[in-house]
């Protein structure tokens, strides 16, 4: 069965190619109709930044979201509408608009900000959140799944919600062993920040990303985790199965890639 992401804008079957239209003709190209670079450029538009700010006003504030909101507002104030910025929230908002995901997997839920970004755009999406719920993670209160459920209610999520608690290096293989046919329209990897751990999370989920779907990888420009950019490049960006885009130079950086085939 073709996933919803495979029917969305990035990968709509081109009429007459035989890619899903029953024509029986050749499929000369992989099914993407837009590149990650093209989408990434759109995700830098000021309107999406304003929508990210509006989202953070809807959810429970914490010191980090307050800081990021102030950073974004000050950048726009000082440098005007041409100021370019992207992070995991602007990217997830943009991808959710384009892909209209029915299924979303996230590694590293924490307080639910990224889940809320997807849910605010795709309220019926089935959300799968994998986390260890470490107390005081990164110096900020980490209340757990019930808190995240409340955050999702704030942004109007109406779809199914599945939390998988524990170490992703154990829970992901177990989950996919039980659900080998599962495919996701959108995936975020933002859990284990060690080089080997992040690489393993990517390798565990990439086979289950639908063609035309997107995988998001955070913190590629984080000064404490400089190895993450190399992990992304070696595992995803250099892989011809993907069309990849990255933003660096401000904040902690973010990447995403569309699956071509």
| Model pLDDT, residue 122 | 98
Give the class (CATH, top level) of 31-259: alpha beta
| Model pLDDT, residue 190 | 96
| Model pLDDT, residue 141 | 82
| Model pLDDT, residue 246 | 98
Number of H helices, E strands in the chain: 10, 7
Q: What is the maximum span of the chain, computed from C-alpha positions, in angstroms?
A: 57
Measured CA to CA, the distance from residue 107 to residue 109 in angstroms comes to 6
Using alpha carbons, select from 110, 106, 117 the residue that is nearest to residue 59.
117
> How would you write 61-124 as a 3-class SS string?
CCHHHHHHHHHHHHHHHHHHHHCCCCCHHHHHHHHHHHHCCCEEEEECCCCCHHHHHHHHHCCC
* Cβ neighbour number for residue 30 with a 10 Å cutoff: 17
Q: pLDDT tens per residue, the chain (261 residues)? A: 334 444 445 665 444 333 334 445 678 899 999 999 999 999 999 999 999 999 999 999 999 999 999 999 999 999 998 999 999 999 999 999 999 999 999 999 999 999 999 999 999 999 999 999 887 666 778 889 999 999 999 999 999 999 999 999 999 999 999 999 999 999 999 999 999 999 999 999 999 999 999 999 999 999 999 999 999 999 999 999 999 999 999 999 999 999 999
| Model pLDDT, residue 4 | 45
């Amino acid at each position: 069965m073709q996933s919803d992401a495979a029917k969305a804008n990035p990968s709509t079957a081109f009429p007459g190619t035989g890619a899903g239209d029953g024509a029986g003709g050749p499929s000369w190209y992989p099914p993407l109709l837009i590149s990650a670079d093209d989408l990434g450029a759109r995700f830098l538009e000021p309107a999406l930044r304003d929508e990210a700010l509006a989202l953070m006003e809807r959810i429970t504030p914490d010191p980090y979201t307050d800081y990021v909101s102030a950073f974004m507002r000050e950048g726009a104030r000082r440098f005007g509408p041409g100021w370019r910025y992207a992070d995991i929230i602007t990217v997830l908002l943009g991808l959710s608009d384009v892909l209209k995901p029915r299924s979303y997997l996230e590694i590293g839920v924490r307080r639910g900000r990224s889940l809320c970004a997807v849910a605010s755009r795709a309220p019926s999406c089935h959300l799968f959140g994998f986390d260890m719920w470490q107390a005081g993670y990164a110096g900020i209160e980490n209340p757990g799944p019930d808190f995240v459920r409340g955050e999702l209610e704030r942004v109007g999520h109406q779809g199914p919600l599945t939390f998988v608690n524990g170490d992703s290096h154990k829970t992901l293989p177990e989950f996919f062993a039980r659900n080998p046919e599962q495919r996701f329209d959108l995936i975020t990897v933002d859990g284990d920040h060690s080089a080997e751990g992040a690489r393993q999370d990517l390798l565990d989920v990439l086979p289950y990303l639908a063609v035309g779907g997107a995988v998001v990888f955070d913190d590629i420009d984080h000064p404490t985790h400089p190895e993450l950019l190399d992990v992304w490049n070696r595992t995803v960006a250099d892989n011809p199965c993907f069309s990849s885009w990255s933003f660096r130079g401000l904040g902690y950086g973010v990447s995403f890639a569309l699956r071509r085939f």
